[in-house]
Amino acid sequence: MADRCASHSAQIIDRDGAAVAGTDILLEVEWSRVLDDISEARVVIASGDDCCAALSRIRTWRHKLAIYRGTDPVWEGPIISVEWTPDGVEISAVDILGWLDRRTPHTTQEFVDQDLADIAAWLVDDGFAPDDPGHTTTIVAPSRIRGRRAYQEDVGQTGDHLRDLAATGIDFTALGSRILILPEDHAARLASLSDADFADDLVVVEDGLALATRWVVHGKDGVKGVAGGAHPYYGLIERVVEETSILDDASAEAAARSRLAASCPAPVFLDSQEATLSPDAGLDVTVLVPGWCVDVTTTQTCRTIAQALKISTVKVKEDGDSETISLQLTPAGVGG
């Protein structure tokens, strides 16, 4: 049998709060935190006579997976897949935001001159209103972008509406049962990192496909907003998008400005496959939350970086042999 995980433990919890099963022999664990989308987790549990009956009772969506690093809770969410084998059980889950991809607006609602963070909070709370798995919504700070939006009862999935809103000036992420909403330009720092804090050589990437110098946002019934134009350095690179929830020109223009700020100049970031933290980095993984920033300095490539970078993804993986922690980092002020 493979060695059990040393740093992590997990528990299966019923929607009524009762413990369904523990994971005394946890062989593998993976979990992540993601900005502006749903994160996933996976565990592999060794089966045995003393726990097999409990593991046989696990059911998708009825039960949730909770993961702990030491004594600290780091991830939880509904189970979406279970595989039973003669050697053990593999469980896959999504975070609490996964519910919103299975919910639809329950009220027809129009917002006029409302901060986008407040609109996002309404989407979350309305999505959970008829059947709440136990969430809290926290607005870390207002977006300072105001707009007009409309949502119709039973039209579209709530998760899609929330992601559309995130493209125009807010960020969101799940932290356990909490859903955090924050401005896209949130710049609070968690730590400072240099080349020595990463396990491998860093790769610096400039994403030219994400560059745009002019954005056109089309809303509903002829609503239109434009930001940018020909750039003195890059020239003219145009993008057009349709967002039918936008109801007036001012909101469309605000959405266009937000997209422009995220795409010009061309985003520069660290390749997510290479940004694996060194065991000596000294960072507490439990405090690494997407949407917050770390100051990064790297001088090992021809393209140097010394700037604040936003955490867009945290990934943690452990088996019986080792644990790896990797970060995906984007320029501060750019959504995930």
pLDDT value of residue 49: 57
> Token pair for residue 260?
């422009």
Query: Is the pLDDT score of 16 beyond 70?
Result: yes
Q: Mind listing the pLDDT tens digit for each residue in 238-255?
A: 999 998 888 889 889 988
Cis geometry, peptide bond prior to residue 265 (ω within 30 degrees of 0): yes
For residues 163-179, give the mean pLDDT.
Answer: 93
SS in 3 state form for the chain?
A: CCCCCCCEEEEEEECCCCEEEECCCEEEEEEEEECCCCCEEEEEEECCCCCHHHHHCCCCCCEEEEEEECCEEEEEEEEEEEEECCCEEEEEEECHHHHHHHCCCCCCEEEEEEEHHHHHHHHHHHHHCCCCCCCEEEECCCCCCEEEEEECCCCCCHHHHHHHHHCCCEEEEEECCEEEEEECCCCCEEEEEEHHHECCCCCEEECHHHCCCEEEEECCCCCEEEEECCECCCECCEEEEECCCECCHHHHHHHHHHHHHHHCCCCEEECCCCCEECCCCCCCHHHCCECEEEEEEECCCCCCEEEEEEEEEEEEEECCCCEEEEEEEEECCCCC
- The amino acid occupying position 291 is G
Place of tokens 């109801």: 247
Measured CA to CA, the distance from residue 196 to residue 281 in angstroms comes to 8
Measured CA to CA, the distance from residue 281 to residue 200 in angstroms comes to 12
Query: Is the pLDDT score of 192 beyond 60?
Result: yes
pLDDT value of residue 330: 83
For a pLDDT cut of 90, what percent of the chain falls above it? 59
Query: Is the pLDDT score of 301 beyond 80?
Result: yes
pLDDT value of residue 333: 58
pLDDT value of residue 1: 46
pLDDT value of residue 119: 97
pLDDT value of residue 335: 46
Q: Mind listing the pLDDT tens digit for each residue in 203-234?
A: 888 889 999 999 999 998 999 999 999 999 99
Can you give the pTM of this predicted structure?
Answer: 0.85
Q: Is the dihedral of CA 273, 171, 157, 77 positive or negative?
A: positive
What φ, ψ does residue 288 adopt, rounded to 5°?
-80, 105
Domains of the chain by range and CATH?
Answer: 8-94 (2.30.300.10), 100-183 (3.55.50.10), 189-206+267-331 (2.40.30), 210-263 (3.30.1920.10)
pLDDT bucket at 336, cuts 50 / 70 / 90: very low
46 or 42: which leads in pLDDT:
42
Q: Mind listing the pLDDT tens digit for each residue in 25-36?
A: 889 999 999 999
Measured CA to CA, the distance from residue 175 to residue 286 in angstroms comes to 10
